[in-house]
Amino acid sequence: MTAPYTGGCQCKRIRYEIRAESLTLYVCHCQECQKQSSSAFGMSVLVPRDALIILQGQRKHYQRSSESGREVSCWFCGECGGRDCFITLLVIPKLLTLSQER
Q: Under the rule (CB under 5 A), what is the footprint of Zn ion?
A: 9, 11, 13, 28, 30, 33, 77, 79-80
| CB closer to Zn ion out of 11 and 20 | 11
Question: Least distance to Zn ion from the beta carbon of 79, Å?
Answer: 5
**3-class SS at 24?**
strand
Type of residue at 68: S
Type of residue at 65: S
| CB closer to Zn ion out of 48 and 81 | 81
Q: How many CB atoms sit inside 10 A of residue 34's CB? A: 14
Question: Least distance to Zn ion from the beta carbon of 10, Å?
Answer: 5
Alpha-carbon distance of 41 to 34, in angstroms, equals: 5
Q: How many CB atoms sit inside 10 A of residue 98's CB? A: 21
Question: Least distance to Zn ion from the beta carbon of 49, Å?
Answer: 19
| CB closer to Zn ion out of 80 and 95 | 80
